[in-house]
Amino acid sequence: MLGSFAVLRKQSLLGDAISHAALPGIAIAFLITGAKDTNTLLLGALVSGLIGTFWIRSIVTKTHLKSDTALGLILSVFFGFGMLLLTFIQKQPNANQAGLDKYLFGQAATLVESDVWMMAIVTGICLIVMLTFWKEFKILLFDADYTKTLGFNTKTIDILITSFIVLAIVLGLQTVGVVLMSAMLLAPAAAARQWTNSLSKMVLLAAIFGAFSGVFGTAVSASQNNLSTGPVIVIVAGIFVLFSFVFSPKRGLLFKQIRFVKNRRDLELHKTLAFMYHIAETHDNISHPHTIKILNNFQGYTKGTLQKLVDRGFVELDGNMWHLTEEGFKTASNLYNQQNASDE
């Protein structure tokens, strides 16, 4: 759901960066408490995720480094630091340390009931906040300057959205792991984007796609041996995206291609018609017959286009001869005028 906002805000890779940046938080939380309590670890992840995000922000706004550099930098540096801490922890004589690296790849199967409840609660809070601030989110998303002139505090709204994205990511980490979290955030939103232009529909669709790939992915992974859940979910989500890319009615590649081909055919048709018009023009009587042969070697001409012209009643065939009808002549001359008009 929140992914929709990330996608539309061109912050897609933020998810990736945050999920990596959360690692040192987990490690530090563990170092401080010495226990493997899910909540404290998540809190640590949340804090370090937020620090990472705001550092990225400040790099982008204060220096001339671009956002991609900032993202990559924070991502790798935080992750490296997290690794350093993890290896450091592993050397510590603490029996609890095992399993911390589970957070790296995630394992939905290790979730216990309390985790699920926790997720449900957080999702609920996200939902409530989103509905409350729906108007503000939407307006900020599409026209930040306008929002500012209306007197909304853009910074607060911005921080609110970002915090919730971070929260969602940190929660998701347990399930699908660091690497795949970004796909979980992006894929449903990217797929949903193809089907609709309305934000509310997009968010709804993204939620449905996300839930579907979650359920489906888990089912597949449970049915097979040796398949970890995270990657399967991601691949299912990926298939959704691919499907959306190809088959969505307005933006999809398939329909785009069909439209493209159709346009080209239309153009060829027009070209043939225009050519015929020029020939017919030289004669007093527009229904003066000509042989089909003279149309050969002309780009737009095929038997198909000729047949189409006949079907539309622009041309009449008589054996090997053709001649323009009244209607065809009119259309063709209009065609020409229209082109001139649009040129001007």
Positions touching another protein (CB under 8 A) are 7, 10-13, 15-16, 20, 58-59, 62-66, 68-73, 75-88, 91, 101, 104-105, 179-180, 182-183, 185-187, 190, 193-194, 224, 226-228, 230-232, 234-235, 238, 241, 245, 251, 253, 256
Nearer to another protein, 58 or 198 (CB): 58
Q: What residues does 324 pair with on adjacent strands? A: 315
| Alpha carbon distance 215, 231 (integer Å) | 13
Nearer to another protein, 119 or 179 (CB): 179
Residue 55 CB, shortest distance to another protein, in Å, is 9
Closest contact distance (angstroms) between CB of 270 and another protein is 27
DSSP string, 87-133: HHHHTSS-GGGTTTTHHHH--GGG--HHHHHHHHHHHHHHHHHHHHT
DSSP secondary structure of 176-192 = H-HHHHHHHHHHHHHHH
Close Cβ partners of 230 (under 8 Å, ≥ 6 residues apart): 105, 106, 107, 108, 175, 176, 177, 180
Min CB(87)–another protein separation in Å: 4
Distance CA 140, CA 138 (A): 5
d(CA 19, CA 21): 5
Element (H, E) at 321: strand 321-324
Query: Shortest Cβ distance from residue 73 to another protein (Å)?
Result: 5
Cβ closest to another protein, residue 209 vs residue 301 = 209
* Minimum separation from the CB atom of position 338 to another protein (A): 28
CA atoms of 40 and 33, how far apart (whole Å): 8
CB of 51 to another protein, least distance (A): 12
Cβ closest to another protein, residue 182 vs residue 331:
182
Task: Rank residues 239 and 310 by Cβ distance to another protein and give the closer one.
Answer: 239
Whose Cβ is closer to another protein: residue 8's or residue 160's? 8
Give the nearest distance from C-beta 19 to another protein in angstroms.
10
How far is the C-alpha of 138 from the C-alpha of 130, rounded, in Å?
A: 10
Got the DSSP string for 235-268? HHHHHHHHHHHHH-TTT-HHHHHHHHHHHHHHHH
Residue 35 or 84 having the CB closest to another protein: 84
The residue among 23 and 269 lying less far from another protein, judged by its C-beta, is: 23
Beta bridge partners of 291: 321
* Least distance from another protein to the Cβ atom of residue 206, Å: 13
CA 74 vs. chain centroid, Å, equals 23
